[in-house]
Amino acid sequence: MLANEIKITPELVAEHGLKPDEYERILKLIGREPSITELGIFSAMWNEHCSYKSSKVHLKTLPVTGKIVIQGPGENAGVIDIGDGQACVFKMESHNHPSYIEPYQGAATGVGGILRDVFTMGARPIATLNALRFGSPDHPKTRHLVSGVVAGIGGYGNSFGVPTVAGSVGFHSRYDGNILVNAMAVGIADTDKIFYAKATGVGLPVVYLGSKTGRDGIHGATMASAEFGEGAEEKRPTVQVGDPFSEKLLLEACLEIMAKGCVVAIQDMGAAGLTCSAVEMGAKGDLGITLDLEKVPVREEAMTAYEMMLSESQERMLMVLKPGKEAEAESIFKKWGLDFAIVGYTTDTLRFLIRHNGEEMANLPIKELGDQAPEYNRPFTGPKKLPVLDASTVPAPKSLADALEKLVASPDLCSKRWVWEQYDHLILNNTVQRPGGDAAVVRVQDGPKALALSTDVTPRYCEADPFEGGKQAVAECWRNLTAVGATPLAITDNLNFGNPERPEIMGQFVGCIRGIKEACLALNFPVVSGNVSLYNETHGRAILPTPTIGGVGLLADFQNSASIAFKSSGEAILLLGDTRGWLGQSAYLSTIAGKEEGAPPPVDLAAEKRAGDLVRDLIAKGRVTAVHDCSDGGLLVTIAEMAMAGGIGATLELSPGGIPPHAYWFGEDQARYVVTAPALALPEIEAAAKAAGISATRLGLTGGEQLTLPAERPISVAELKKRHESWLPDYMAGKS
């Protein structure tokens, strides 16, 4: 019988983030009062972050299968087949709450955690990406948060030795008290050498690997499952401290031990540390696990069972080894200077038994810990449909040139060079397309195969219409991968929302999921991994709904990839796709008119598919010289970005008929691409577009050093680029 030195009071239950009815469920499940260690274990397993209790019922509706899917959601990361016996392993995960409290370490350990998820499966990481959302630039904490988060991401990835190749950075006052740090890692493994968490075999050693356990991060996952109120900073001790050096050693040691055939099952210690990893390995394999905590390597004295079970110290792994492989595994870990300890064994009892110096501290049914977690189908209300904004009611700018100059230097659309120059994006020598384009292109080993990678979401669309916004996030990711010439394969989703106990927030969540589902089905783009981050609220004010989509695409030969830069003068600029001049929720509307109104642009998924397939085909055949998808800021911003990237101007001749010029040039209609091509190739491209049912519009010619629009003052590309490049460095230096 368990000694219960601490009385479990309702206050203690509440402090563990468990609701009274959830505690009742625990009592019913185990038939007695839990020990304090057991209460801690339940709080770790049953919080939102680990149990997905509010989201599971909806996540189940997402398409997760496909010809290329080797492993869908539910493992450390998703796995897809990229041919030639190779698999791509990838996942995205949030570290939002910790990054607000302690930006450097919060972001750093976010990167560390997601890298571990990928190499736990036997894959060597080849790239990381991220998606960051900060509060308004005017908010007093924003500079500090940007500076800390960017340094933290760089600090971890640069030292670990993986290139950070792409990402997105946005600002909005709705993230003032809750920033978003979503990190994605991508790795490569052989398809027949993927490792899983599921343990098999009774009486096998359970091995602890990596760094020592300390008191850092206790209750991190519980903290991440609650709203912020006053005194969020006091939660700083729940943020873990990252050690990329140890993680690099852990990577090398794990891959070596795997290659030697020592490993039956492996699970990284992420959220809820030892608890989550041990339960996962046992429950998935229908086995019990017994742990003797005095064998756990610790770096602080007098740690209790409770603290060890809930510590979120970083850079740790749990493994089940093949019998007789202990000595070989230990020698590899010792070589890398890492801790190695046999801390327990697998059993056939289906119990999760924790002993400390011979004393029983917890004895729980292992399957029920995971399976019997509460599951909620929370009430939700659909948001009110917003009216479609009539473009003629949106004031025109004094001049299109002024508006363009303002847009390319706006916080959301300005160059993010200041950010990505702090990330080593070149290490490993495989970065074919660097940050700043539509998608990163990373060569796989010696090529010619390459992966295209991108993270996308437009939160203001999701706020205005969760369903269309969810569709658009997936479609834009698919489009970005297409724009470099890749065949989009699969996605990971990182769903960031407010408090799911509020029906309107749950409505945003459900709407976005429905939109994601519809787009994934239409574009044959399954979800293979993901993460849900709820309770992103401060004082009852939620973030914009932000379902970040991280996509992976495949290029058979990286030399056939396309990029956004204008390549030479005298080439035709062609728009593929329809323009209606959709200004609702556009960057123009918010930046120039100072309003966020109307319905967001709808996504016609059939048109999206046709346009994308056409563009990919044109790239593969070498018919186009530059390609850029048309998104935030609309057509003119797209062209300006191509001009700035190539250092070549353009003369635009089209005077749109029927649509107000500012709506034509800045509207954010979806499913569009701008391409350039030599004049000779035009008839063929136009014929192909016609056959695909996609409209092709000649916009003008590349050349010169200016962007020239009919009846507008010419805009110097160099001057435009200066504005585009200087907003962020100036802002960070306190100049704007």
If binding is defined by CB under 8 A, does position 731 make contact with other proteins?
A: no
Per CB under 8 A, the list member of 151, 593, 599, 654 interacting with other proteins is 151
Per CB under 8 A, the list member of 286, 390, 421, 719 interacting with other proteins is 421
If binding is defined by CB under 8 A, does position 336 make contact with other proteins?
A: yes
Distance in Å, CB of 417 to other proteins, minimum: 8
Per CB under 8 A, the list member of 55, 105, 158, 472 interacting with other proteins is 158
Running DSSP on this structure, what letter comes out for residue 443? E
Stretch binding other proteins (CB under 8 A), from 29-37, 60-68, 364-372, 414-422? 414-422
Distance in Å, CB of 681 to other proteins, minimum: 24
Instruction: Report whether 441 contacts 450 (CB < 8 A).
Output: yes
Distance in Å, CB of 124 to other proteins, minimum: 10
Instruction: Report whether 193 contacts 187 (CB < 8 A).
Output: no
Stretch binding other proteins (CB under 8 A), from 166-174, 195-203, 310-318, 423-431? 423-431
- Residue 106 CA to residue 95 CA, distance in Å, equals 6
Smallest Cα–Cα separation from 56: which of 384, 376, 425? 376
Per CB under 8 A, the list member of 51, 267, 430, 480 interacting with other proteins is 430
One-letter amino acid at 104 equals Y
If binding is defined by CB under 8 A, does position 425 make contact with other proteins?
A: yes
Instruction: Report whether 242 contacts 156 (CB < 8 A).
Output: yes
Distance in Å, CB of 109 to other proteins, minimum: 15
Smallest Cα–Cα separation from 132: which of 496, 512, 633? 496
Per CB under 8 A, the list member of 105, 142, 313, 431 interacting with other proteins is 431
Lookup result for tokens 């080993």: 445
If binding is defined by CB under 8 A, does position 161 make contact with other proteins?
A: yes
User: What's the sign of the alpha-carbon dihedral 664, 666, 667, 668?
Assistant: positive
Stretch binding other proteins (CB under 8 A), from 155-163, 180-188, 395-403, 529-537? 155-163
3-state secondary structure of 411: coil
If binding is defined by CB under 8 A, does position 144 make contact with other proteins?
A: no
Cβ-based nearer residue to other proteins, 83 or 337: 337
659 C-beta neighbours (distance < 10 Å), count: 16
If binding is defined by CB under 8 A, does position 416 make contact with other proteins?
A: no
How many C-alpha atoms does 635 have within 13 Å on its Cβ side?
32
Stretch binding other proteins (CB under 8 A), from 223-231, 385-393, 418-426, 534-542? 418-426
Stretch binding other proteins (CB under 8 A), from 137-145, 148-156, 186-194, 612-620? 148-156
Cβ-based nearer residue to other proteins, 134 or 423: 423
Strand pairing category for 572-576 and 696-702: antiparallel
| Span 500-539, contacts to other proteins by CB under 8 A | none
Running DSSP on this structure, what letter comes out for residue 373? S
| Span 183-212, contacts to other proteins by CB under 8 A | none
If binding is defined by CB under 8 A, does position 176 make contact with other proteins?
A: no
Cβ-based nearer residue to other proteins, 443 or 517: 443
Distance in Å, CB of 104 to other proteins, minimum: 12
Instruction: Report whether 36 contacts 6 (CB < 8 A).
Output: yes
Alpha-carbon dihedral 318, 320, 326, 329, rounded to 10 degrees: -50
327 C-beta neighbours (distance < 10 Å), count: 8
If binding is defined by CB under 8 A, does position 641 make contact with other proteins?
A: no
If binding is defined by CB under 8 A, does position 422 make contact with other proteins?
A: yes
Distance in Å, CB of 155 to other proteins, minimum: 7
Q: Which helix (H) or strand (E) holds 524?
A: none
Residues recognised as catalytic: 49, 95
Distance in Å, CB of 659 to other proteins, minimum: 41
Cβ-based nearer residue to other proteins, 246 or 347: 246
Distance in Å, CB of 334 to other proteins, minimum: 11
714 C-beta neighbours (distance < 10 Å), count: 14
Lookup result for tokens 């635009």: 652
Per CB under 8 A, the list member of 30, 386, 427, 659 interacting with other proteins is 427
Q: How many residues bind other proteins (CB under 8 A)?
A: 32
- Residue 313 CA to residue 716 CA, distance in Å, equals 53
Stretch binding other proteins (CB under 8 A), from 152-160, 230-238, 256-264, 348-356? 152-160
| Span 347-376, contacts to other proteins by CB under 8 A | none
Stretch binding other proteins (CB under 8 A), from 16-24, 207-215, 419-427, 625-633? 419-427
Contacts of 392 (CB under 8 A, 6+ apart): 660, 663
If binding is defined by CB under 8 A, does position 484 make contact with other proteins?
A: no
Query: Cis (ω within 30 of 0) for the bond into 137?
Result: no
| Span 434-453, contacts to other proteins by CB under 8 A | 443, 447
Alpha-carbon dihedral 318, 324, 326, 328, rounded to 10 degrees: -120
Q: Binding marks (x or -) toward other proteins, 220..259, rule CB under 8 A?
A: -----------------------xxxx-xx----------
- Residue 232 CA to residue 101 CA, distance in Å, equals 7
3-state secondary structure of 166: strand
| Span 295-324, contacts to other proteins by CB under 8 A | none
Smallest Cα–Cα separation from 170: which of 403, 404, 408, 414? 414
One-letter amino acid at 299 equals R
Burial degree of 135 (CB within 10 A; 0-12, 13-18, 19+): buried
Cβ-based nearer residue to other proteins, 147 or 173: 147
Q: Binding marks (x or -) toward other proteins, 558..577, rule CB under 8 A?
A: xx------------------
Distance in Å, CB of 705 to other proteins, minimum: 18
Running DSSP on this structure, what letter comes out for residue 232? G
If binding is defined by CB under 8 A, does position 159 make contact with other proteins?
A: yes
Stretch binding other proteins (CB under 8 A), from 102-110, 156-164, 347-355, 493-501? 156-164
Smallest Cα–Cα separation from 520: which of 60, 59, 61, 62? 62
Q: Which two tokens stand for residue 318?
A: 């749990």
The CA-atom distances, in angstroms, between 361 and each of 38, 221, 291, 345, 416 are: 8, 21, 10, 16, 51
Instruction: Report whether 305 contacts 206 (CB < 8 A).
Output: no
Q: Which residues bind other proteins (CB under 8 A)?
A: 151, 154-155, 158-161, 243-246, 248-249, 336-337, 420-432, 443, 447, 558-559
